Amino acid sequence: MTILQALILGIIQGLTEFLPVSSSGHLELVKFLFGDESLPQESLTFTVVLHFATALSTLVVFRKEVLEIFKGLFQFKWNEELIFSLKIIISMLPAVLVGLFFEKELEALFSGQILLVGVMLLVTAALLFLADRAKNTNKNVSYTNAFIIGISQAIAMLPGISRSGATISTSVLLGVDRERAARFSFLMVVPLIFGKVAKDILGGEISLESSQVGVLSIGFIAAFIAGLLACTWMIKLVKNSKLSYFAIYCLIIGLTAISYKLFFA
């Protein structure tokens, strides 16, 4: 992988992690276009580094909320911070279970499955169209809602299903306030990303060679900066009901990927 490719992939990851267009799907499509022939372990290392960068950008944007979560966890007082922390934990459960029991099956889907990515992008488009037309979105996230949103996050582990798109759309369709839905969606994934990074490091699944440092650094910085911009922008877009634009985008990219795979590949 070249420096330019790392830069492009980092920007794409940073933007698409927060914009509801599927970061995993776009990374797979771009790698396919680049003719990425990296060894699986090298590709995994790069992907993990990019996700780690976007997780850090989330912590920067939501630093006040993150501090409140930690206060809730360590004060052991029944207050709003502790309640929010419990909801975050509940939302993580479905994805944790899927990751533990179906990790190998999921990894097999990230190997140039362009047709699958295209179909799942159409699913993302449908969710965004529905969410953009939802009414009476003024509720807070309940415990039940947190678990249902968590299920949508687990389903979004499929390449082409936007994690932010699925979780925000599910929240809005459940009647949750749009801005709260966006904030909850971005915060609920942070512990999962850090957990995944720690698991891969401790399990020896990530290999780092001196020749990779430059490429990984460029990708990390690009993903971090793009993530800061996209995260802040996305909250405003969700609040102002602008999801239909992303639905149209996912529809076009999904149909293009499907058409290419069926008629040209």
pLDDT score at 40: 45
Distance, in Å, from the CA atom of 242 to the CA atom of 98, rounded to the nearest integer, reads 31
Tell me the per-residue pLDDT of 136-145, one tens digit each, with 9 for 90 and over: 778 999 999 9
pLDDT score at 42: 54
Judge contact between 253 and 20, C-beta under 8 A: no
In sequence order, which residues have a C-beta less than 8 Å from that of residue 26 and are 6 or more positions away? 12, 13, 16
Two structure tokens written together for 179: 């801005």
Judge contact between 98 and 106, C-beta under 8 A: yes
Tell me the per-residue pLDDT of 3-14, one tens digit each, with 9 for 90 and over: 888 898 899 889
In angstroms, what is the C-alpha Rg of the chain?
18
pLDDT score at 193: 86
Distance, in Å, from the CA atom of 43 to the CA atom of 34, rounded to the nearest integer, reads 13
pTM beyond 0.75: the answer is: yes
Judge contact between 174 and 262, C-beta under 8 A: no
pLDDT score at 73: 67
DSSP reduced 3-state for 176: strand
pLDDT score at 39: 42
Two structure tokens written together for 7: 């830069």
pLDDT score at 211: 61
Distance, in Å, from the CA atom of 149 to the CA atom of 171, rounded to the nearest integer, reads 6
In angstroms, what CA-CA distances link 155 with 15, 95, 123, 163, 188? 20, 8, 11, 8, 14
Judge contact between 17 and 152, C-beta under 8 A: no
Task: Kindly list the domain boundaries of the chain, sorted by start residue.
Answer: 3-263
pLDDT score at 97: 93
| Spans in the chain with pLDDT lower than 50 | 39-41
Tell me the per-residue pLDDT of 35-64, one tens digit each, with 9 for 90 and over: 765 544 456 678 788 888 999 999 999 988
Distance, in Å, from the CA atom of 204 to the CA atom of 261, rounded to the nearest integer, reads 35
Judge contact between 203 and 32, C-beta under 8 A: no
What is the chain's mean pLDDT, rounded?
A: 86
Distance, in Å, from the CA atom of 70 to the CA atom of 74, rounded to the nearest integer, reads 6
User: Dihedral sign, CA of 155, 158, 160, 163?
Assistant: positive
How big is the CA angle at 30 (ends 28 and 36), to the nearest 5 degrees? 80
Distance, in Å, from the CA atom of 231 to the CA atom of 41, rounded to the nearest integer, reads 29
Judge contact between 80 and 140, C-beta under 8 A: no
pLDDT score at 145: 96
Judge contact between 16 and 179, C-beta under 8 A: no
